[in-house]
Chain A
Amino acid sequence: MKKIKAGRQPNRSVGGDIGVGIFLVLFGCFFAFPLVFAINNAFKPLNELFVFPPHLFVKNPTIANFNDLFLLMNKSGVVTFTRYSFNSLFITFVGTVGHIFIASMAAYVLSKYKFPGGRAFFTMVTVALMFSGYVLAIPNYLIMAKLHWVDTYLAIIVPAFAMPMGLFLMKQFMESSIPDVLIEAAKIDGAKEGTIFFRIVMPLVKPATLTLMIFSIQNLWNNVATTYIYSEEKKTLPFALKTLAAGGVARTGVSAAATVFIMIVPLVSFLLAQSNIVETMASSGIKE
């Protein structure tokens, strides 16, 4: 029998490995292309943006586009750039914190206790993974109107508290990573449910907490918020940037700068939390 060498799996052909490498690089280029393109465009001076034939890479990088972006945002209309940014930050922050707490609490009892209705409830959440914002928009609008929440941040923040994906991932993660004995031991020591949850369970599920955070940030930071919000001063950054980018050919550089500006937050947060996310997703499976 051949010895199994560390690092190289025995049933792999060298040719196959090379093929896989080429394949991955080719497709990696395809996936990265628009991003690289956006970043390069954002730093191109005007004469490079409209050169024929177009170049992919920037030759004389400049931050003029970003300057233009901030200038435009500050002088156009009544609402300043800082206000849009504040709105987005506020919605993202409150929505994310609330989501983590509310979803984790529910996930804790759903994963660690048996009680009537618990399983049925979780099945419903699993089905709700398939709902998209558009499908729910009409009845939700009617409900928001009844609650007098139209044109308030509540209309965006509160539904985001109960994002099904967050509860789903958190419940699956708790189920597989928190031993039942730990909770029982704490109970024998006289700990109350609240104490167990905050002092024992939450510190153990940090990777899942970070994952929920990233998904929530992705969802809320990119929220255009046009369905429930119509006052200009309550609109969000992606909305403002979208309007700006709609300005046509003359705004090509500015709109690329805007795109880059907006993608920084989700991209960086994902990068920082990647290993935690992967750890969490390991328990994401749906069992029959």
Chain B
Amino acid sequence: MSYANWKAAKKRQRHFLLKDIKQSKTCYGFLAPYAIIFFTFYVIPVIVSIYLSFTYYNVLQPPKFHGLTNYINLILADDVFLTAIKNTFLIAAITGPIGYIMAFLFAWLIHELPRGIRAFAVLVFYAPTISGQVYVMWALIFSGDSLGYANAWLTELGLIDTPILWLTNPEYMMGIVLLVTLWMSLGTGFLSFVAGLNTIPTDQYEAGYVDGIKNRWQELWYITLPNMKSMLMFGAVMAITQTFNTADVTMSLCGFPSTDYAARTVVTHLIDYGSYRFEMGYASAIATVLFLTMFLCNKFIQKALSRIGT
């Protein structure tokens, strides 16, 4: 193809694109209100955040360009950040997969129940997520004095004789945080699984039975899971989002800041620098690192999920 031809083709392409855009005027009109708000409050903030992460910014003075200083300090000089990363990864590595598998397992088992009980069971398992602040009840259960429910029961049973400081002793803190995050881990992904299981055509199961699928586990692997791939992906995105953003739970259970920063997560670290110390550049660097980690994790899981049923 000659250069002139190529140029003409390119021009025609551009012409078509312009024509497409002109013809889709109504489409853009419908999209506009959402798009404007979405860009202003979801896209631009990410760009601003990435920009700020390379600066020193304390809100009062204009941001000063700082190069990679924030990132270098974050990784090399900030011990608390290392604790935060360790905790966040611990939550992500334990609550993430277990919560995810639990969400699927419960959805799958609930699906086998008779119809009437099913709706009730879904409500019971999903309730921790919808009822907002109910996780503060865990603070009462694990409160450090002898009237805390866990302490009182353990004393009654004769297992301990002095109350355990569940939420102020760094030894127990993370364990309790993990327990509570697990308790809350059946979120939107769980609903997606419950719904997805309903959509699998029953004749596939019947065909599987004829083809010699012997038990529920084989059926799960060869029929159910391959049918659920897209829901599994959605659930994974939700699980990643939820676990990497853990902050409310640790703050209201273990206090903010927690003893020895033992329950610090990446997000509470970010809140500390952003809302209390006003080091916005540094806080933005934390946000950027967090986002990048989540994004990579997401890509990795996408790869892993494409192997299901093979």
* Interface positions of A (Cβ within 8 A of B): 1, 4, 9-13, 16-17, 20, 23-24, 27-28, 30-32, 34-35, 37-38, 41, 50, 52-54, 102-103, 105-106, 108-110, 113, 115-116, 118, 121, 124-132, 134-140, 142-143, 158-159, 161-162, 164-165, 167, 193, 197, 215, 218, 221-222, 227, 238, 241-242, 245, 252, 255-256, 259, 262-263, 266-267, 270-271, 274-275, 277-282, 284-288
Q: Which residue of A lies closest to B306 (CB)?
A: A288
Q: Indicate if B304 sits at the interface (CB-CB under 8 A).
A: no
Q: Indicate if B280 sits at the interface (CB-CB under 8 A).
A: yes
Interfacial chain B residues near A38, Cβ < 8 Å:
134, 137
A14 to B267, CA, bound (A): 47
Q: Establish whether residues A143 and B130, one from each chain, have CB atoms under 8 Å apart when the complex forms.
A: no
Interfacial chain B residues near A279, Cβ < 8 Å:
195
Q: Establish whether residues B194 and A281, one from each chain, have CB atoms under 8 Å apart when the complex forms.
A: yes
Interfacial chain B residues near A159, Cβ < 8 Å:
37, 41-42
19 A-B contacts, Cβ less than 8 Å apart?
A: A9-B112, A35-B137, A37-B137, A38-B134, A41-B137, A53-B153, A106-B34, A109-B30, A116-B17, A127-B295, A143-B45, A165-B188, A167-B34, A227-B275, A270-B130, A274-B122, A279-B195, A282-B195, A286-B233
Interfacial chain B residues near A27, Cβ < 8 Å:
106, 125
Q: Establish whether residues B127 and A31, one from each chain, have CB atoms under 8 Å apart when the complex forms.
A: yes
A128 to B39, CA, bound (A): 11
17 new A-B pairs (CB below 8 Å) besides A11-B218, A109-B26?
Answer: A16-B216, A17-B112, A27-B125, A30-B183, A41-B137, A52-B146, A129-B241, A131-B291, A135-B290, A136-B45, A138-B284, A164-B42, A193-B30, A270-B130, A278-B122, A281-B192, A284-B196
Interfacial chain A residues near B302, Cβ < 8 Å:
288
* Interface positions of B (Cβ within 8 A of A): 17, 20-21, 23-24, 26-28, 30-31, 33-35, 37-38, 40-46, 48-49, 52, 106, 109-110, 112-113, 119, 121-128, 130-138, 140-141, 146-147, 149, 152-153, 155-156, 183, 186, 188, 191-192, 194-196, 198-199, 205-206, 209-210, 213-216, 218-219, 228-234, 237-238, 240-241, 245, 247, 267, 270-271, 274-275, 280, 283-284, 287, 290-291, 294-295, 298, 302, 306
Interfacial chain B residues near A41, Cβ < 8 Å:
137, 140
Q: Known contacts A31-B125, A197-B30, A259-B136; decide if A278 and B194 are in contact (CB<8 Å).
A: yes
Interface residue SS majority, chain B:
helix
Q: Which residue of A lies closest to B280 (CB)?
A: A138
Interfacial chain B residues near A9, Cβ < 8 Å:
112, 205, 209
Interfacial chain A residues near B34, Cβ < 8 Å:
102-103, 105-106, 161-162, 167
Interfacial chain A residues near B215, Cβ < 8 Å:
11-13, 16
Report which residue of A17, A32, A113, A116 has the largest number of chain B beta carbons within 10 angstroms of its beta carbon.
Answer: A116
A275 to B119, CA, bound (A): 8
Instruction: Tell me the minimal C-beta distance from A67 to chain B in angstroms.
Output: 21
Interface residue SS majority, chain A:
helix
Q: Known contacts A34-B183, A135-B270, A280-B195; decide if A245 and B136 are in contact (CB<8 Å).
A: yes
Interfacial chain A residues near B209, Cβ < 8 Å:
4, 9-11
Q: Establish whether residues A52 and B152, one from each chain, have CB atoms under 8 Å apart when the complex forms.
A: yes
Q: Establish whether residues B216 and A137, one from each chain, have CB atoms under 8 Å apart when the complex forms.
A: no
* Interface pairs A-B: 4 shortest CB-CB: A285-B230, A281-B195, A115-B24, A106-B34
Instruction: Tell me the minimal C-beta distance from B135 to chain A in angstroms.
Output: 7
A278 to B122, CA, bound (A): 10
A20 to B146, CA, bound (A): 37
A9 to B198, CA, bound (A): 15
